[in-house]
Amino acid sequence: MNINDKLTRVQSSANTELGKRVVAQIRFAMEISKAQNGNFLDVIDDAVTYLYEKLTNDGAVVNDAYMQAEKMLMPIQPEAKKYTMHCVPHAHIDMNWMWSFNETVNITLDTFRTMLTLMREYPDFTFSQSQASVYKIAEEYDPEMFEEIRQRVREGRWEVIASTWTETDKNMPNGESLCRHILYTKEYFKEKFGLSSDDLQIDFEPDTFGHNINVPELLNKGDIKYYYHCRGSNRNDVYLYKAPSGKEVICYQEPIWYNANIEHNFFEYLPDFCTKNNINTVLKVYGVGDHGGGPSRRDIERILDMQTWTVAPVIKFSKYHDFFKELEVYRDSLPVIDKELNYIFTGCYSSQSRIKAANRLAEDRLYGSEAFSAISYCFADGYNYSKQYAKAWQKVMFNHFHDILPGSCVQESREHALGEFQNIMAYAGAGMTKALLNIAEKIDSSFVPFDLDTMSTSEGGGVGFRSEISNRCINNPAERGCGKTRVFHIFNSTSHFRAEPVEVTVWDWLGDLNLLEVVDTNGKAVPFMIIERGIYWAHSFIKLLVLSEVFSFGYNTYILQEKENPGFSISYPLDKRLEEFPDNLLENDLIKAVFDDDMCLVSLTDKTTGQVIINSPSCYLRYIEQNTRHSKQPSGWTEGEEVFGCNINREGRVYITGRDYRCCLRKLIKYTVEYKNSRVDVTVSLDEGASMLRFKLNIDFKEWGVQGQTVPGLKFHMPINYDAQEYLYEIPCGSIKREPMHHDAPARSFVYAVSNNGSKGVCLLSDTIYAYCGENNSISATILRATTMPDKYPEFGIHTNEIGVAVLSNKKDIIYKTAAGFNQPMQFVSVIPHKGKLASTGSFIKVEGSVSVSALKTPEHAQGHEIIVRLYEIEGKSGECRITFADKPVSAHIVDILEREQSKATVFGSTVIFNAGANEIITLRIKF
């Protein structure tokens, strides 16, 4: 009988603690021998044969025999002790995964209570905990416990390993959100625990569903050196993760799992693992998790016992930081991975679409609000609103948790996320309005002829007008003007000049609509059209579309008034004299779009080149059903195999409900698609000067899946008329080209189908969607997917989306500008004419270089008038960049994400000059 068979017999009879201990040491010794090509095999064979003979002859193995066998293994002890195992406890606490927020609070407090009790009993026991959010819970719901945690942190026995507010998804939050995770988390622990950035060097993401390629760049800019993860790769366990910028972090991919007990054989894999990775130290993460809990008394007792074993590694009660610092010795010999670590759970890019829509809108609205709050503070003596934005960002970051934003959570979690979203939007809306009104107060409009109408009812009209999610949470401030002459300031929060129609709402205007006109500050008539009239809470309104021109991070002034000299005109009867049958055609100087009777886009032509981008049915709604019967994971995580799909523009009922070709500013067609129990109301429009079609969708979805059978979904499908072998997807702080793939992949606001011959291509944009698929010369966006687990009815009801189809060159700066304009609508406020120090039109900031602006904000600890500008390089090449300001800076520094000075930037007059490395994130702090 060979050694393995003998050991199997011995192991099956080892029912005592001592027996399990000795068998575990033998198995570990065998792994050491295997790693050394059979060395020590004779020693192991003698010990196993001894136990086997005792079992065979006596019918059992007594304790004395086990102790004797353990002594026989003594020659292997020096080799075993060359290995070190860092035993680090943790409690994986999922935020609202399969439960409500109140349960998350209970889980957190009960877990921490247990850990503190064990610390009192076991002086060598250390504990490590991630996620700033759980510390915030302890602070708010049990301040006494929070103080005890702070004491244990000061003692060095409770290790904080939180560099993010929650264990966040890394694919769907935008780059600025991932920056804020680092900024606000390190700020929190500095304030509450006195921890420096050097004390928080680990990004601990055990259960995150994939990792974007810019993670190393983001972590480097946030002073984070190490990354722990479990999912997203099967290639290496210890390696350097390298971003396109060249920045690297040491990564440790959990070889077993992040939830584990201390078992007798828990270090058996160690020799093979160390040989494979050319190291001699490993990390053992232990503790019950997901629903909290953490390590148990048994885990601690077993570690204490194992420290006395003959053939075992050096076993320590340790900390994550201690382990990673030991890995630094091996940095130069570690393999390098320079690709994104995806994909896992691709269904999570589309599950629970309401949560995803809320996050997209929250991030975009906070960007615009912060930008103008910072401008207001620096250039118009406005209020510093940064503390309020920090509160909003905490709520945004909580919803980034890897089971909330991905939609792999229950209904209660979804409802909590959407409730938090309302609070976020309250901060964003209040901050934006406050900032714009303050800037508007400083803009000189005294040149406008004006007589105060003391009987006006307009001021204050329109409070809260259409600020709900279904209207994209666009800021619609109440009317501040009165009388027949109204002054409007229109604001642009992007880094490029924009000339486009902007929607402006006028309240209680009592003039003659036939005499209404809009003029610029030079008195020149500006094209406009009335697109809606109505009554809202006892106030009448007129919604106008005004062709506006606004510089980057700037504003322009427009005047609405009644013409003084209308001239002579002849009135004609309004009745039709001939029935009209218009074509389904949208056309301007740049593109021509032709739709068939089912409102499929059958032709899209770039008029500047004559290139036909689309020449077959495209841009239609596609209903799908996915089979989940054979999926290893419930439908909330996995897409499943598509077993049915159809073009519902063809298979359903399509009704054209309206057309508006009156004005060149915006032409549109409205139609309805009905299929099964659901209905989609669509408005497709084309603006003057735009090479993009906009599809506004209002979806009443009444389909649901059946567990173990199929789940329904809805896609926007866009076949194209050119060969595309790769697709450009927007990712956090950059973009990535991916080959065609037969599943959804994550992107933020755009996917661009790259033409093989370098000609123009088509870009699919969305303001709420993350799941895209580029394959077979087409792009699809998964609008929603009605999963059955863990949320049974996540998509039943009303959904709103905006999708753009843009004909663009393959230049990244054009693509990024288009996406910025799509996601950042221009804002307006109305005022009564008054004197001011600012000109009637202007730009506060101008950006030059191959960079995209990630944030414009006030520093967290502003010293006077200061502003933070964060950008990232988009072309993949180093180069000089310039930012010109409305005032002359006193100083300018390149800082990290934590807003700490790294080096000086050049100030030349009103311009700051700096160099941006390829694919680099650059943060500037400018003082005025």
| pLDDT tens digits for range 226-277 | 999 999 988 778 999 999 999 999 999 999 989 989 998 889 999 999 999 9
Instruction: Average the pLDDT over 845-864 and give the result.
Output: 97
pLDDT, position 473: 61
User: Tokens 């920090």 correspond to what residue?
Assistant: 390
Q: How many CA atoms lie within 13 A of 105 on its CB side?
A: 10
Beta strands 842-843 and 778-785, pairing class: unpaired
Note the pLDDT tens digit of each residue in 318-340.
Answer: 999 999 999 999 999 999 999 99
- Cα distances (angstroms) measured from residue 678 to each of 464, 695, 780, 785, 813: 30, 18, 20, 14, 39
By percentage, how much of the chain surpasses pLDDT 90? 88
Using 50, 70 and 90 to split pLDDT, how confident is the model at 452?
A: confident
Note the pLDDT tens digit of each residue in 120-175.
Answer: 999 999 999 999 999 999 999 999 999 999 999 999 999 999 999 999 999 999 99
pLDDT, position 566: 64
Contacts of 589 (CB under 8 A, 6+ apart): 607, 688, 689
pLDDT, position 573: 56
SS3 580: coil
Through-space distance between the first and last CA atoms of the chain, rounded to whole angstroms: 84
9: phi then psi, degrees, rounded to nearest 5 = -65, -45
Note the pLDDT tens digit of each residue in 600-639.
Answer: 999 999 999 999 999 999 999 999 999 976 666 678 999 9
Query: Which amino acid, one-letter code, is at 919?
Result: N
Q: Which helix (H) or strand (E) holds 442?
A: helix 411-442
SS (H, E, C) 706-764: CCCCEEEEEEEEEECCCCCCEEEEEECCEEEEECCCCCCEECCCEEEEECCCCCCEEEE
pLDDT, position 571: 53
Contacts of 364 (CB under 8 A, 6+ apart): 767, 823, 824
Angle at 823 between CA 831 and CA 829, to 5 degrees: 5
* CB of 772 closer than 8 Å to CB of 745: yes
What is the rounded distance in angstroms from the CA atom of residue 823 to the CA atom of residue 362?
A: 11
Instruction: Average the pLDDT over 110-116 and give the result.
Output: 97
Instruction: Average the pLDDT over 685-697 and give the result.
Output: 97
Query: Which amino acid, one-letter code, is at 322?
Result: D
What is the rounded distance in angstroms from the CA atom of residue 47 to the CA atom of residue 590?
A: 84
* CB of 893 closer than 8 Å to CB of 883: no
Task: Say yes or no to pLDDT of 719 above 90.
Answer: yes
* CB of 858 closer than 8 Å to CB of 899: no
pLDDT, position 464: 85
Contacts of 347 (CB under 8 A, 6+ apart): 633, 635, 636, 637, 638, 639, 640, 744, 785, 787
Query: Which amino acid, one-letter code, is at 122?
Result: Y
pLDDT, position 576: 65
The encoded tokens of residue 62 equal 């007594």
Task: Say yes or no to pLDDT of 190 above 60.
Answer: yes
SS3 419: helix
What is the rounded distance in angstroms from the CA atom of residue 719 to the CA atom of residue 622?
A: 12
Q: Tell me the average pLDDT of the chain.
A: 94
User: Tokens 């003007």 correspond to what residue?
Assistant: 481
pLDDT, position 454: 81
pLDDT, position 567: 60
pLDDT, position 313: 96
Note the pLDDT tens digit of each residue in 554-600.
Answer: 999 999 999 987 665 555 555 666 666 678 999 999 999 999 999 99
Angle at 29 between CA 23 and CA 30, to 5 degrees: 90
Using 50, 70 and 90 to split pLDDT, how confident is the model at 74?
A: very high
Q: How many CB atoms lie within 10 A of CB 196?
A: 11
Closest to 752 measured CA to CA, from 781, 789, 786, 732: 781
Contacts of 413 (CB under 8 A, 6+ apart): 96, 97, 98, 99, 100, 101, 403, 404
* CB of 445 closer than 8 Å to CB of 487: yes
Task: Say yes or no to pLDDT of 456 above 90.
Answer: no
Helix-helix angle 386-398:353-379, to 10 degrees: 160
